[in-house]
A = this chain, B = another copy of it.
Amino acid sequence: MNPFDDEYFMKKALQEAQAAYDKGEVPVGAVIVFKNQIIGRAHNLTETLNDVTAHAEMQAFTAAADYLGGKYLKGCTLYVTLEPCQMCAGASYWAQIGKIVYGASEPKLGFTVLDTRIHPKTTVISGVLEEECSFLLKKFFIEKRNLN
């Protein structure tokens, strides 16, 4: 039995998503794991920072590369609560990340439907804790709609 499985780390990404939610940000969270250790964690801050590049994944890539002292994340796994967009998948290509694990799908602007090029050495797993990841996003958008 491995306590450090994909669900374990997705729960950590969900904690980050909750932190985004608490700030009124679209609730997406990410962690980057290297040898069972979290070396980068971040949540969406596009509103707070007025910056479209401040997606959870982008910040997590920067943090993880900073930790490792090199820009490639070859042996690392990205856990993210929502399917990455073109920008974030494009960044993962440059980082040559080993694995991407995501929770909820993004059927309109996710990298799979838009056919964004993923690095040939990157494996992708989808649907981990999908319901919990989706629930937080749906809750956010329903509340936002009711406020406007």
Residues of A within 8 A of B (CB): 46-47, 50-53, 58, 61-62, 65-66, 69-72, 85-91, 93-95, 109, 114-117
Contact = CB atoms under 8 A, between A and B. Distances in A.
A139 to B, nearest CB: 22
Name the residue among A65, A72, A87, A88 with the largest chain B CB count within 10 angstroms: A87
Given A46-B71, A71-B46, A86 B52 contact: no
Contacts of A46: 71, 94
Contact of A90 (B51, B69, B86): B86
Given A71-B46, A114-B116, A116-B114, A52 B87 contact: no
B116 A86 contact: yes
Nearest to A63: B51
Contacts of A117: 86, 109, 114
Contact of A87 (B47, B66, B94): B94
A66 B58 CA distance: 18
B51 A71 contact: yes
Contact of A66 (B51, B62, B88, B109): B51
